[in-house]
């Protein structure tokens, strides 16, 4: 088998991809972005491993041997599934490999914002703490999670993990199902307006779709508590970034933690890039999924998807 890894660096150079060589000749590219690069590099491939590279009619039509596309990711919006199905090309993704890490990062941001950790760390390191005449300092108020209401959008694996941790902190958990089809009975399901009005912490764990695009817009932000903290570890376009900037600057909500933004990497044209106050806004570079352990699992799960395919079995296939 001829296997092409288009975006080897998407899983980090500190994580080995050598296990993929179990299945044949592997050609590895550090990164692949343009249509022309994709077309040239997959021309003779039987199996393509990708993350964001466009895989559609334009890039695949001359790649006559491709039988399987493996995502180094859960998302597969870089693939034209209908076209792949018409060609008999199976597309697989990696599932539930970073649930614990995304949940962990959700709380890392929530706690940092709630406890104003950046401010107090800077206070100590600046020398101000050493020069004061008292043992403690709490010049900016900070708050407990216990007793607060934690709202969730997207009660899948990650949403449920976050809910269990929030409950462990003593939070009251509720959630909103965008589709209205959630089967979760462990926590109260509420409508959007109730979620916005009652959440002290609101974390987003939903996929991007027409239903979730700009789910948090100017109107939604106006309905939230002025003390609320918003966490987005889902997709950047679930939150209207301009509306969030205005809400933070006007004090409509207290703070936000974002691992994703509308266009990545963050552009200087995004108004959120102007906010330097880390007690108000924390932005991390789309890394909530990327612990060493999670990236290792991602590669191994892709390996297992290929192994299943070669045995004639469907494993994590996302197209009919």
Q: What angle do CA 147, 187, 75 make, to 5 degrees?
A: 110
Length of the chain in residues, anyone?
320
Q: Could you confirm whether 105 is annotated as catalytic?
A: no
- Distances from the Cα of 5 to the Cα of 29, 52, 71, 203, 232, angstroms: 6, 12, 10, 33, 29
Among the listed residues 41, 176, 205, 235, the single catalytic one is 235
Residue position matching structure tokens 């959440």 = 199
Q: Could you confirm whether 235 is annotated as catalytic?
A: yes
SS3 304: helix
Q: Could you confirm whether 286 is annotated as catalytic?
A: yes
Which residues, including other chains, have CB under 8 Å from residue 35's CB and lie 6 or more apart? 54, 58, 59
Among the listed residues 36, 40, 61, 264, the single catalytic one is 264
SS3 93: coil
215-228 burial, b if ≥16 CB within 10 A, otherwise e?
bbbeebbeebbeeb
Among the listed residues 87, 119, 286, 315, the single catalytic one is 286
Which residues, including other chains, have CB under 8 Å from residue 177's CB and lie 6 or more apart? 155, 184, 189
- Residues known to be catalytic: 235, 264, 286
């Amino acid at each position: 088998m001829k296997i092409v890894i288009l975006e080897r660096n998407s899983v980090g150079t500190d994580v080995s991809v050598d296990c993929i060589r179990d299945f044949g000749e592997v050609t590895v590219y550090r990164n692949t972005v343009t249509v022309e690069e994709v077309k040239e590099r997959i021309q003779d491939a039987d199996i393509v491993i990708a993350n964001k590279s466009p895989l559609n009619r334009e890039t695949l039509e001359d790649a006559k041997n491709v039988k399987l596309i493996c995502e180094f990711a859960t998302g597969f919006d870089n693939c034209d599934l209908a076209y792949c199905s018409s060609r008999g090309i199976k597309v697989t993704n990696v599932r539930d490999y970073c649930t614990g890490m995304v949940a962990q990062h959700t709380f890392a941001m929530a706690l940092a914002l709630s406890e104003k950790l950046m401010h107090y760390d800077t206070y100590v390191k600046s020398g101000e703490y050493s020069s004061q005449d008292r043992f403690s300092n709490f010049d900016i108020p900070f708050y407990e999670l216990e007793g607060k209401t934690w709202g969730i959008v997207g009660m899948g694996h990650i949403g449920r993990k976050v809910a269990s941790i929030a409950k462990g902190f003593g939070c009251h958990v509720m959630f909103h199902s965008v589709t209205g089809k959630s089967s979760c009975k462990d926590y109260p399901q509420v409508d959007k307006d109730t979620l916005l009005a009652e959440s002290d912490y609101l974390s987003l764990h939903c996929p991007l779709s027409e239903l979730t695009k700009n789910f948090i817009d100017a109107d939604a932000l106006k309905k939230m508590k002025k003390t609320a903290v918003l966490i987005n570890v889902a997709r950047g376009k679930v939150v209207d970034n301009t509306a969030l900037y205005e809400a933070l600057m006007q004090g409509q909500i207290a703070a936000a933690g974002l691992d994703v933004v509308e266009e990545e990497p963050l552009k200087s044209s995004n108004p959120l890039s102007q906010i330097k106050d880390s007690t108000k806004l924390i932005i991390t570079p789309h890394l909530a999924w990327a612990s060493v352990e999670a990236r290792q699992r991602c590669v191994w799960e892709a390996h297992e998807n290929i192994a299943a395919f070669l045995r004639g079995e469907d494993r994590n296939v996302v197209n009919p």
